[in-house]
Amino acid sequence: MTEHRDSAVRSASTQLSEQGAPDAPVPERRRFLAKGGALAGALATFGLSEHSLAQSGTAAGAETANLPPNVPPWTKQLGEPTASPYGKPSKFETRAVRNLYPGLTEPMSAYSTTPLQELDGIITPNGLFYERHHAGVPQVDPAQHRLMIHGLVQKPLVFTVDELRQFPSESHIYFMECSGNPSFLPPWGKTAAEVAGLVSCAEWTGVPLKIVLQEVGVDPAAEWIIAEGADGAAMTRSIPMSKCMDDVLLVYSQNGERLRPEQGYPLRLFVPGYEGNTHIKWLRRLHVVKQAGYTREETAKYTDLMDDGRARKFSFIMECKSIITHPSGTHKLTRKGKHEMRGIAWSGRGRIAHVDVSVDGGNTWTEAQLQQPVLNKALTAFRAPFEWNGEELTLMSRAVDETGYVQPTLEQLTAVRGQVSFYHNNSIQPWKVDANGEVTNGRA
Ligand SMILES: Nc1nc2c(c(=O)[nH]1)N[C@H]1C(S)=C(S)[C@@H](COP(=O)(O)O)O[C@H]1N2
Ligand SMILES: [Mo]
């Protein structure tokens, strides 16, 4: 292993010193490298050619003076000694940004989506985590923030954030998804972000709620907890006591750093697998009660209306779902031959068991490869090879979770939910590839 490394380092440094003499005649080996000899050999097994690389590679239309065998200016001078107190992505990564939708029905009732088609792996960077605010982002001073727990308890208590952080804490990787991701209402989005960008995944650190509930002593008659946020919306949701005593967290950190203001700094409720709306941000109060609150956000909103005018109430769990993110809407296949499709799958009921993919609109399916780790209630990455030779394709992914639940088509889902349902659309997303390789939403 060590020897292997050393020889890799050696050959890299030989290469560097050769490049260090820009005016010297190009040695034979460098010519070979310039033509991409070894690389092209490796790619050929994947059906790629040098030619197709040149078409789709970063060099297209760009300055070629800095490409091998020439030496770019950044190799000939020193860079910045350090970047900044808080790092930022490369200025060239302009597409990896959230789409902002400021003001849904009134100003400050806004959301932004995660650019799923630009991301790799299962962790959403904090600056790209989706946002949904009903009354804007309050700038909460942690020194002036408290969590009050009262109601059917032996000992009502008020905690500072620092006091809460002293309880035993846990870290878990979980997804979070808004139940309107997307709604059942057209127009359907163009990109993966527009279709399903209200889902993100992070490592959350916080105190299990059950530990704090033991401290206050819950009355056995209590069956619900009503959680309230400190924002102008005073977002309020009822959570069943059984869930509170299971895996609910009082979260203060996300991906290793303190929560961002837009994610509920300094404290949020995290309810694994439940719809995003229950994850109360800027959490200020937990009211332990006998009956659910039937608050605005669980009656007028966030219930699923059926055709007969009744509603499915407390539809908390985000059912199994997946989406192909690469290639996806607005992408273009620039060469014929082998490609890899990549995507994410998740389930509010547990782990992903498998993901099937189709290139013919669901007539035939093959099993995708799951990227480890496959975690409970987290995004799971999948990939599968496919071939495109200029014909029209319809790409689809269908996830199955460990309970055996199969992600439905939109037709199957509306057959059960009716025509007026708004939330919880977890249906299969089709992407069309046309004869030019252009990828568009296959949902007309
Ligand atoms: N206090 C408060 N909590 C809230 C909200 C809010 O507007 N205020 N929005 C909810 C909704 S609808 C969702 S989907 C998630 C979004 O969390 P995020 O902005 O961290 O992605 O927070 C939920 N918790
Ligand atoms: Mo939401």
Name 92's Cβ contacts closer than 8 Å, sequence gap at least 6: none
Ligand 1, atom 16: nearest CA belongs to which residue? 132
Predicted local confidence at residue 62, as pLDDT: 60
Task: Provide the CATH number for the domain around residue 271.
Answer: 3.90.420.10
pLDDT tens for 352-400 read 999 999 999 999 999 999 999 999 999 999 999 999 999 999 999 999 9
112 belongs to a structural domain: yes
Asked if residue 110 and residue 144 are part of one domain, the reply reads yes
Q: Which two tokens stand for residue 165?
A: 């952080």
Domain count, the chain: 3
Is 137 found in the same domain as 259?
yes
Ligand nearest to the CA of 422: 2
Report residue 250 as tokens. 């009082």
Residue 118: CB atoms within 10 Å: 17
107 — pLDDT class (breaks 50, 70, 90): low
Quote the mean pLDDT of the chain. 88
Testing ligand 1's pocket by substitution, the residue of 112, 235, 239, 275 carrying the most ligand atoms inside 8 A of its CB is 235
- The reply to whether 87 falls in a domain is no
DSSP type of residue 122 = S
Name the residue type at position 207. Answer: V
230 vs 235: CA distance, rounded Å: 8
Rounded to the nearest angstrom, the distance between the alpha carbon of 128 and the centre of ligand 1 is 15
35 pLDDT band, cuts 50/70/90, is very low
Give per-residue burial for 50-71: e unless 16+ CB within 10 Å, then b. Answer: eeebeeeeeeeeeeeeeebeee
Q: What percent of the chain has pLDDT over 70?
A: 85
When pLDDT is averaged across residues 165-180 and rounded to a whole number, the result is 98
d(CA 274, ligand 1 centre) in Å = 12
Q: How far is the CA of 370 from the centre of ligand 1 (A)?
A: 30
- Band of the pLDDT at 104, cuts 50, 70, 90? low
Cβ-contact 140, 282 below 8 angstroms: yes
Contacts 24+ apart (CB under 8 A), 252-256: 252/161, 252/164, 252/165, 252/205, 252/206, 253/171, 253/204, 253/205, 253/206, 254/126, 254/129, 254/202, 254/203, 254/204, 254/205, 255/123, 255/125, 255/126, 255/202, 255/203, 256/203, 256/205
Q: Kindly state whether residues 352 and 306 are assigned to the same domain.
A: no
CA 238 – CA 73 distance, rounded (Å): 59
Q: What distance separates the 2 farthest-apart alpha carbons in the chain?
A: 86
Vertex 224, ends 219 and 228: CA angle to 5°? Answer: 110
Does 95 reside within a domain? Answer: no
Domain assignment present for 91:
no
**What residues sit around ligand 2, an ion, with C-beta below 5 angstroms?**
132, 178, 276-277
Write the CA distances from 22 to 12, 13, 28, 72, 438, integer angstroms: 17, 15, 15, 10, 41
pLDDT of residue 41: 42
**Band of pLDDT at residue 444, cut at 50, 70 and 90:** confident
| 185 shares a domain with 132 | yes
Residue scoring higher pLDDT (39 or 19): 39
**Band of the pLDDT at 429, cuts 50, 70, 90?**
very high
Whether 135 is in a domain gets the answer yes
Residue 51 lies in a domain: yes
Q: Which atom of ligand 1 is nearest to the CA of 275?
A: 14
Other Cβ atoms less than 10 A from the Cβ of 255: the count is 18
Task: Out of 311, 332, 362, pick the residue that ends a domain.
Answer: 311
Does 307 share its domain with 329?
Answer: no
Q: What is the pLDDT of residue 15?
A: 29
**pLDDT surpasses 90 at 43:** no
- Does residue 68 sit in the same domain as residue 117? no
Final residue of a domain: which of 59, 75, 91?
75
With a cut of 60, say whether residue 17 has pLDDT above it. no
* Residue 76 reports pLDDT greater than 80: yes
pLDDT score of 287 more than 80: yes
Secondary structure E strands in 66-212 = 99-101, 110-113, 131-133, 146-151, 157-160, 170-177, 199-208
Q: What is the CATH number of the domain that holds 418?
A: 2.60.40.650
pLDDT, average across residues 243-247: 98
The whole domain housing 432 covers 321-441
Rounded distance between C-alpha atoms, residue 326 and residue 383, angstroms: 9
Per-residue tokens: 273: 């697998």
Are 61 and 200 in a shared domain?
no
Query: Is residue 89 assigned to a domain?
Result: no
pLDDT at 23: 31
Q: What's the CA gap between 258 and 267, in Å, rounded?
A: 9
Cβ neighbourhood burial of 190 (10 Å; 0-12, 13-18, 19+): middle
CB atoms within 10 A of CB 334: 13
Neighbours of 342 (CB within 10 A): 19
- Distance (angstroms) between ligand 2 centre and the Cα of 301 equals 10
Pair (106, 170) in one structural domain: yes
Same domain, 117 and 33: no
- In this structure, are residues 195 and 323 in contact, taking their beta carbons and an 8 Å threshold? yes
Query: Which ligand is nearest to the Cα of residue 133, counting in written order?
Result: 1
Q: Quick one: 269 and 146 in the same domain? A: yes
Mean pLDDT of 302-313: 92
306 lies in a domain? yes
Residues 216 and 360 in one domain: no
Residue 133 CB–ligand 1 contact under 6 Å: yes
Q: Half-sphere exposure of residue 108, counting CA atoms within 13 Å on the CB side?
A: 8
Helix (H, G, I), strand (E, B) or coil at 338: strand
- pLDDT over 80 at 286, yes or no: yes
Last residue of a domain, one of 291, 311, 331: 311
pLDDT at residue 22 is higher than 70: no
Whether residues 227 and 150 fall in one domain: yes
Q: Is the CB of 263 under 6 A from ligand 1?
A: yes
pLDDT digits (tens, 9 = 90+) for 184-226: 988 899 999 999 999 999 999 999 999 999 999 999 999 999 9
